Structure 1
């Protein structure tokens, strides 16, 4: 878990796929902005981030036409249809989007072969690399459906669907009918993420690894009561304790506890006498 002085929240939420959004996009934008990608925004507050070669674009669209808050597309030709696209809705935990954009930033640094890869010889076998982290962490393969591989959490509150066969490229980019469909949370406030055909599998793997991570996520309890389910476990964030005292602190405390030495503090069994100046003179005797 992160240092309690650095986290943004007062409770930890387990499992993390029930944590919901943080209502801020800054952490997910940071990996791309750190590479010097261009940043623009419109009068509605939507944000657009573009790679220097114009071949990868990100839209953060709080005032977009639907609940697709995040849209990421990659192009072999900036004027052609995207080669692949991914989206995340407005309830998706920001940490999941950040895992994707951080992996995308690494891929962009590596070069075009990492973010615009050639199709795999065996797409289904290649795709299993992204499914493996979920299975390794207890997600179970469901009863097979024609053309769909589905894995689901034991509590049934999160799942991943991978569709095989040929799909319509336009629908993949504009609807939920994408190659990858990952979802979780309560029905009333669920989140989802999609990724189309040709999305680099290592980017999807970064997402599935983050979603299935057993570490909890920090949240502010009061801001999430309207969409938490009773399946989520909330653990208070324990504030840091007082700092450990230094040897000098211990020495000073000992001095403060030591009794003050006065003229009357002569040891009980001492044979010494108080100084003469301390003995009061006798009163004169009247005659």
Structure 2
């Protein structure tokens, strides 16, 4: 797929604190890429540098062959985490105003706005002021404002905030549709279950440094060990003695066995003791949420640093 956005060697400091350390990634046409990390990891700073709200101390950002201040911002849609539409302005007026700022034809913008308002269950709300809308409704309007001008790159910072499950499904459907139409999408969210459902690739940072980068399948294969969930009355200490079991978490009659990285699931299942109480059994990899927790608690960072030290010492191969 064609690369639309390239972030290369990005560095940024505020006074004496370095918040970005040589950040590099790409966003391709028609893909949904997640940028993830705990609060303070550097996600918002990265996004603000891409948007030209601030500029990096080092490195470069390239979009369609343009760099830095020359990037055509009207080709980019942006949904910020902080909501900022004028409260005392009518919904249609604010949508048309923002589309005009992007040099988008007003007539076409109005047609698209009405269609999106209907799609997001806001039909008839176009003459209401923003302050009269609920939080979820306002979020929908802000989302529409980010996509109304048909951007080639769409940046979504916590797009599912304040939405009920039905509205979340609407947003997911529209994000997928935009990607199918060729829009490159960079998405930041703490709702890992939603990210796992819709994203093609992800870039995870902690303390301003890259810790994970790749497709969802690559990340799962590299970082997500298998786990086995068993429903039945079994003694945790006995389950812990089963080969290739790293640890066991037990709640009432449900036991979750976390397995070593090298385990072969089919072979491992054949070797389970025959007298275990198994009423239900499920085998899958740990979730993106659990991988995220590893990063948020620095476990992944510590492992990466330890591996780097061993490589430098020549004790393991690079």
Q: TM-score, normalised by structure 1?
A: 0.25
Q: Which structure has the greater CA radius of gyration?
A: 1
Q: TM-score, normalised by structure 2?
A: 0.23
Q: Which has the higher contact order (CA 8 A, sep 6+)?
A: 1
